[in-house]
Amino acid sequence: MGKSAKIYLFFILITDFLTSIHSIDPICNSRKFSYPKTLRSNQITVLINGYSESRIHLLRRIAATYSSLPFVASILILWGNPKTPPETLTQITQNLTSYFGGAPISLLLQSTDSLNSRFLPRPEITTRSIAICDDDIEIDTKSFEFAFKIWESNRDKLIGFFPRSHDLDLSLKSWIYTVHSYKYSIMLTKFMIMKTDYLEKYSCSADSKITMLRDYVDEMKNCEDILMNFVISDEADSGPVLVEAKRLRDHGDARNEENDEMEMRNVGLSSRRREHRKRRGECIREFHKVLGRMPLRYSYGKLVNSVGEQGLCFKGGKLVFCDQQIF
């Protein structure tokens, strides 16, 4: 290799290195997140993404419910709306910290409105697992506890309740974002449980490719959840795990709204969904292009929190489960 070529290669390497360092959040450089080996495995830290002032009442209720659970170590509310008045934030903090007898609840103001911020490692986390959820999702406590138990047996995997999928459109020869009824490869951040270490792998990686993809998330203002799925699937070399919930309310789903203009609203909703899937498909294609591989893996079926008889017996003139009593 000639001298000029060596100098050029050195310049490229230094540029990539400096770009990576610049793009990594200061909390990574400070190493404040260096989790001790004493992180608890028998409890979980809940990270709730908060933004809308109109949902503060719902946020309080959700946080209070999680705080009452013995397997929850703490709740961190990551407030990402920079336009929220200081007096409102003070009121939120006072109301949240007024709950007694449960896990502590803290309000953390995001330093930026970047979607990547929800995956920053934080010194306040004291557990080996975290639950990441939105402020408009309510899940029954038994299902939450069951999902945590599933994680304890699958610590490298992503556990969740809201599945989606990638797929290859053969006619277009292109990756797309979609929903299948029989398989999935992506879990949404509406509610998911994962290993705390993945925060570091997502936010603090000096890999120039991951840095580029974090920047792409900022550019798109979307797809941070898909990128985290890429990171976890690549690390675990397996797909996520879907858990069945007994009661799972999604207050943010547009289908909650019913009015006299339902048909017209549904037309608009359908259009928005197509655009949403299109943009998310663009993310999958870009992630695949930059990484040079497709780490997402398909999973099938879901885990249920019950064990019952599946055999059928003829009782009372009809076929029923054999352990079912006929009166």
CA angle 237, 187, 178 (to 5 degrees): 100
Containing structural domain, residue 76: 3-255+264-321
Distance from C-alpha of 113 to C-alpha of 163, rounded to nearest angstrom: 25
Predicted pLDDT of residue 22: 40
pLDDT digits (tens, 9 = 90+) for 106-122: 999 988 889 999 999 99
Token couple for 32: 């404040």
Q: At 120, list the tokens.
A: 């920053």
Highest average pLDDT, of 23-37, 178-192, 260-274, comes from 178-192
pLDDT score, position 273: 82
Structure-token pair, residue 165: 């999928």
Count: domains in the chain: 1
On whether residue 327 sits in a domain, the answer given is: no
Among the ranges given (12-21, 39-48, 49-58), the one the predictor scored with the smallest mean pLDDT = 12-21
| Residue 213 in domain | yes
Marked catalytic residue, from 25, 134, 136, 225: 225
Residue 14's pLDDT band (cuts 50, 70, 90):
very low
Q: Model pTM?
A: 0.85
Structure tokens at 144: 């939450």
CATH number at residue 178: 3.90.550.10
105 part of a folded domain: yes
* Averaged pLDDT for residues 122-150: 96
Residue 200 lies in a domain: yes
- Residue 19 covered by a domain: yes
- Residue 208 lies inside a defined structural domain of this protein: yes
Give the C-alpha separation, 245 to 250, whole Å.
12
In a domain, 326, yes or no: no
**pLDDT over 50 (residue 20):** no
Catalytic residue status for 215 = no
Structure tokens at 294: 């497709």
